[in-house]
Structure 1
Amino acid sequence: MRTPALATLTTAALLTAGGAAPALAHDGTAEQRPIIATAHLRQLNHSGAHGVATVRVHGTKAEVTVVVSGLLRNAPHAMHFHAGMAGRCPTGRADTNKDGFVSVTEGHPFYGHIVTSLTTRGDTSPASGLAIDRFPTAPYGSVVYRRTVTISAHTAAAIAHHNAVLVVHGVDRNGSGAYDGRIKSDLDPSLPMEATAPAACGPLRP
């Protein structure tokens, strides 16, 4: 069930994406029209997380807004654009090793590798994919993220061609109120799987 805030954001995104006439440059030629994409975020790994995102791309700049609820409170949640594979989200059947989690690796054939890290400050390249101290936290179980980031031309093309996916990470499968558990992350064995497992996922669709 969507909250009023999520419904309002979705409506605004759809209105903004309407068929406005292209702007004209000073020389009278048509300027490149921004790409406006939305993603409806649905839970993975029984996280209970859900939300919506809008991305407005103009060249290699992307204005990103993400609103997601149902997350682990007072914990950081890594968020990324992924691309390069099927351009969609996995289901529970992707848990091929049957450890109870759809891991980042098991999700890779569906959404691809990290192409942009949605950090709150500093670098947004794939190199910041595990910069946990620079990802948004969820003090009340929700995240509202707004930032204009620089993306590659490849990422812009992936968004335009329905190949980009937004993934939010971090689940509390055992209900302990913290990232813990005996199963270790497939990305960083020093972290529990709960810290990096996908919590919500949504393909970006122009």
Structure 2
Amino acid sequence: MRTRTLLVTLAGAALLPAFATPALGAAPTIGNFGAVLAPVPHDPSADAGSEVSGHARVITVDDRATVVVTARGLSPNLPHVMHIHGDLQAHNECPGPEARDDLVADGLIETAEGLDDYGPIDVTFSTRGDTSPASALALDRAPVANQGGTLVYSRNIPIPTDVRQNLDDLHIVVHGADVDGDGQYGGRTTALGVPIEAELPVACGELDGRFVGH
């Protein structure tokens, strides 16, 4: 009887490492960030007084992020490309009125004019497929505002490690404004090779938050 008991005890001990292994794995790195979206300060006479506002939430678990963006006051029934912007090695901020005429004196702050402030594109908030900077102007995969000019976007996407580690210094920028109200994007072709109305930044917000995991 004692021999059988000893064998059972030894067998149980041998199984312990197999069951204990998951508990020894590294805890996920979790981040919780938010941004208040405010209008990009174009000259009101140039952008027809656009007043886009909203908020964004980015919750990261390791190298994936659940992104939720709500924006109001957008051009209705049109796609609006959105990105995380920021230079990972520098301080970033939303552009001020002084950026209006850096390249073209038209009172508007096109994307290229705002780059010195909010930095390059790091992640694209597309509705499907690729989310890298390569999809920055993929209007066919951009979220679309409803008839009332409200946009709600939600997606779980991959996020590069270096971007995740610097989210507290980065920004979310929403683009697209039908300035002349003709129901489509037009205007001069910008340095990005698209009509200015399609890429015009209309709202910007700094991400702020704290890591809640390790």
* Same fold, TM-score > 0.5, yes or no: yes
How many residue pairs align between the two structures?
176
Contact between 2:82 and 2:173, CA under 8 Å: does it hold in 1?
yes
- Choose which of 76, 79, 84 in structure 2 pairs with 1:76: 79
Q: Give deviations 1:133-163, integer Å, cap 9, x for gaps.
A: 000111221110000000101110120xx22
Larger-Rg structure: 2
In the alignment, residue 197 of structure 1 is paired with which amino acid?
Answer: L
**2:125 pairs with one of 99, 105, 118:** 118
Aligned to 1:26: 23
What's 1:49 paired with? 52
Residue segments in structure 1 that go unaligned for 5+ positions in a row: 1-24
Alignment check: 8 A CA contact 2:29 2:62 kept? no
Q: Which runs of 5+ in 2 are unaligned?
A: 1-21, 43-48, 210-214
Instruction: Confirm or deny that 1:170 pairs with 2:176.
Output: yes
Residue 111 (structure 2) pairs with residue 108 (structure 1): no
Deviates more, 1:93-102 or 1:47-56: 93-102
Distance across 2 between alignment mates of 1:34 and 1:86: 23
The residue that corresponds to 1:11 in the other structure is none
Task: Say whether 1:198 aligns with 2:205.
Answer: no
Contact 1:47 1:172 in 2 (8 A): no
CA contact (8 A) 2:172 2:207 kept: yes
Q: 2:99 is matched with which residue: 94, 97, 107?
A: 94
| TM-score normalized with structure 2 length | 0.77
Residue of 61, 64, 82 corresponding to 2:67 = 64
Moved more, 58-67 or 93-102: 93-102
- Deviating runs (4+, > 6 A) in structure 1? none
Q: Please, what is the CA RMSD of the aligned residues?
A: 1.7
* 2:156 counterpart residue number: 148
In structure 1, what is the equivalent of residue 191 of structure 2?
186
TM-score by length of 1: 0.80
Flag the structure with higher helix content: 2
In the alignment, the residues of structure 2 paired with residue 98 and residue 151 of structure 1 have an alpha-carbon distance, to the nearest angstrom, of: 36
